[in-house]
Amino acid sequence: MAVPLTGPDRLFLGEVGSARDHRLHLALAARRPGPAPDSGELRRLVAESAARAPVLTYRLARGGWEPDPAFDPACHVVEYRVAPGRDVGAAVVDAVRANRLLPEHPLWSLMVVHGYAPDEHLLCYRVHHAFQDGMGAARIATRAVLLGRTVPAPDPDVAVRTPARARMRLLATSARLAAPSARLRPPPGRTGGARGVRTFFLRLDLAAFREIAAATGASVPQVGLAVLAGALRAWNPGHWRKAGRRGTTVSFPLNLNGRLRDGGLGNGVTTMPVVLPCAEPAARERLRGVMEQTSFERMAVYRRDRYPVRAPAAAFRLVRWLVPKAFPGRMTVSVIGVSLPLDGCFAVPPTYDTGGGVVSMVHSDTTVVVSCVLSAALAHGDRLPRLMEEALDELRREVAR
């Protein structure tokens, strides 16, 4: 049975041809030991994963998503070899750009990236953002593909539930996101004129996150938001000394899967505005400010009665055109937990240039990996990874006092 497209699905899809646009693709990659599997092994893994997670067989059709009666695992296998010594994050970005998705098939692929090292390879689950959101992609990649668990089929009734109160809550959230807020401002001396995005990857010390969480009662996502606030403050401290610039509002996605879209199809998240307290000079106070805004009770309010909203496709094409112009220099920050004993799981967010940035933090059993996609117009973006390391150390020291 077909599952109707929701508003966010239409927003990210735009037109069917955008399935070929790699800027709207996202991925979750896992570093695995040993030689890369051959194409036959990958096809078997895809077939087994699709049997465990029916969502993997759903393709775009007129009016929504429907199972592909001629699903072929071979259409979802990609092998990408890179030069020895190639940076693994850059290799995945290159693989996503070089291999397009075809709209007549389900909008995902399983990519194996190898050649950069003799003793390991990358297994990368790549999807179109209309097909799945980041948290849904992480859920399917970890449970169905890597852990061999079963995921229920998508519920066709979910996409049509849109109570009036859900629309009102969406309007209220949009108003909060649109409220005046300090934009991301790079340090002085920018050259300007650059287009596109730059992508950076950074591994942070999971032990530091756990020490801070144990001492303060914070969660890993809250520590991550506080670290980012400290890095943005250090990126351009003079920007935050001006009156009225207490912080910058970011979009913080919250997972609705398990209640709305347990099958993992489409976009099952809501967005909560969070003001990163970049003007606060004390690292511990920045964490306190983040914790107050992202308490369990406040997140529960934002999850309550939020459903995927349906609207005409033209309305969402207008939103897609308007958002980068109305909110330049804004940032989206997501934190995804994956229960895998693998060292180095990381996300590759969509690389669509909104004039701001996207930060994805993936924390597994062994590490925290941060992926930053920043507009090339924000000069000196390459400083942020080092500044995040320093902000984490600063917070750790203050908490230990």
Confidence of residue 121 (pLDDT cuts 50, 70, 90): very high
User: CA 336 to CA 221: how far, in whole Å?
Assistant: 8
Q: Is pLDDT of 105 > 90? A: yes
List, for residues 88-97, the tens digit of each pLDDT value. Answer: 999 999 999 9
- Residue 312: per-residue pLDDT: 57
Tokens at 120, concatenated: 């390991």
Residue 34 neighbours by CB distance under 10 Å: 8
Average pLDDT, rounded, for the chain: 84
Confidence of residue 327 (pLDDT cuts 50, 70, 90): low
- Residue 83: per-residue pLDDT: 94
Least confident of 4-13, 142-151, 294-303, 371-380: 4-13
Confidence of residue 135 (pLDDT cuts 50, 70, 90): confident
Choose between 5 and 221: higher pLDDT: 221
> Is the sign of the CA dihedral 258, 264, 265, 269 positive or negative?
positive
List, for residues 284-304, the tens digit of each pLDDT value. Answer: 999 999 999 999 888 887 776
pTM, rounded to two decimals: 0.88
Q: Tell me what the mean pLDDT of segment 341-364 comes to.
A: 85
List, in order, residues 6 or more apart from 27 with CB less than 8 Å away.
92, 96, 111, 124, 125, 126, 127, 137, 347, 348
- Residue 398: per-residue pLDDT: 96
Tokens at 191, concatenated: 């050259």
Confidence of residue 169 (pLDDT cuts 50, 70, 90): low
What is each CA distance from 248 to 180, 186, 233, 298, in whole angstroms? 9, 13, 10, 19
Confidence of residue 191 (pLDDT cuts 50, 70, 90): low
